[in-house]
Homo-oligomer: A and B are copies of this chain.
Amino acid sequence: MHISLFNGTNGAIPLSHRALAYGDGLFETLLADRRGPHWLAAHLDRLYAGTCRLGMAWSMAQNLALKEQLEALCADLDGPHLIKVMLLRNNPAHGYDFDPLLQQTDVLLQCSPYQRPDWTEQGARVGLSGSHVSRNSTLAGMKHLNRLDSVLARQSARRQGVDEVLMTTDNGTIIEGSLANVFFYRQGRWSTPAVDQAGVAGVMREQLLQRFAQIAVSGTEVDNIDQIESAFLSNSLMGLVPVRCLMGRTLAIHADIQTFNSELSNQW
């Protein structure tokens, strides 16, 4: 099933829309099937928190109405689908500025069949991105529409012929992959990078941190990448994906990864 709706109707984006001009908005990508969107409450919580941080005109009531719309949409799904929700700030003719009282929020909803990439079954081959992740504590954690850093990182993955690349800040701190959060095992401990300076606070990442106290939030510098013994990726569409090869080096696939995965699969 393919759906594409702009404020509930078929349509297109006006040329002057500030979401196009500045990336002024947020998005969520959800895995969904006939039973409903997976981790829906967590996605909508993050979306709502993002609208607060960006000062968008979006109420709890609107968030709830969106929840009901997404649930209703799933009743007709045949097999796994990707649902993408975008909230776009609309306030014409202000340049970067917007009027907080006159702004509106447009809702773009897209739905299409989803198939996990083949490499998620075998485990990911992971390299190091030649381009950096953007660092800005004002924006960090949000899934906003300013994603050029991920776009360029995907090209780095393409050129290297790997499935995913790790993105670092300008000063060499590993933050995430181009399309997933990342978890490392070394010296007997699991950790995932903080996302308060850069990166996206992934919904699966949050679920893992809530459920498994043995996963610490702590940084890994790119200089210490050789110490990593095992690793996995997480995102809402792919779930958890073991890393089988990191910068040309074969990694062990730690038994915990299967444990984490089973636990999460049972819970949404």
Tell me the bound Cα distance from A150 to B169 in angstroms: 20
| A49, chain B: closest CB distance, angstroms | 15
Most chain B beta-carbon contacts within 10 A, residue among A12, A20, A86: A20
Tell yes or no: A23 within 8 A of B by CB.
Answer: yes
A138 near B152 with CB under 8 A, answer yes
Q: A136 is contacted by which of B132, B137, B178 (Cβ under 8 Å)? A: B132
How far, in whole Å, are A137 and B148 apart by their CA atoms in the complex? 12
Task: Let me know if B6 and A170 touch, CB within 8 A.
Answer: no
> What's the interface size class on A, roughly?
35 or more
Judge whether A197 is part of the interface by a CB distance below 8 angstroms. Answer: yes
Of A35-43, A64-72, A92-100, A184-192, which binds chain B?
A92-100
Complex contact A27–B21 (CB within 8 A): yes
B15 and A110 contacting across the interface, CB-CB below 8 Å: yes
Q: Are B11 and A15 interface neighbours, CB within 8 A?
A: yes
Q: How many copies does the complex hold?
A: 2
Tell me the bound Cα distance from A142 to B157 in angstroms. Answer: 22
**Which residues of B sit under 8 angstroms from A27, Cβ to Cβ?**
21
A13 within 8 A of B: yes
Assess whether A161 is interfacial by the CB under 8 Å rule: no
Cβ contacts under 8 Å, A146 to chain B: 22-23, 134, 146-148
Residue numbers in B under 8 Å from A83 (CB-CB): none
- Min Cβ gap A109→B in Å is 9
User: Which of the residues B22, B97, B136, B179 comes within 8 Å of A145, measured between beta carbons?
Assistant: B22
Please tell me which one of the listed residues B19, B55, B97, B135 contacts residue A20 in the complex, with CB atoms under 8 A apart. Answer: B19
Q: Which residues of B contact A13 (CB under 8 A)?
A: 12-15, 17, 20
* Interface check A207, CB cutoff 8 A: no
> A229 interface residue, CB < 8 Å from B?
no
A155 contacts B22, CB within 8 Å? no
**13 A–B contacts, CB within 8 A, in A order:** A11-B12, A11-B15, A19-B20, A20-B20, A22-B150, A23-B148, A97-B157, A98-B151, A134-B134, A134-B135, A135-B135, A138-B152, A146-B146
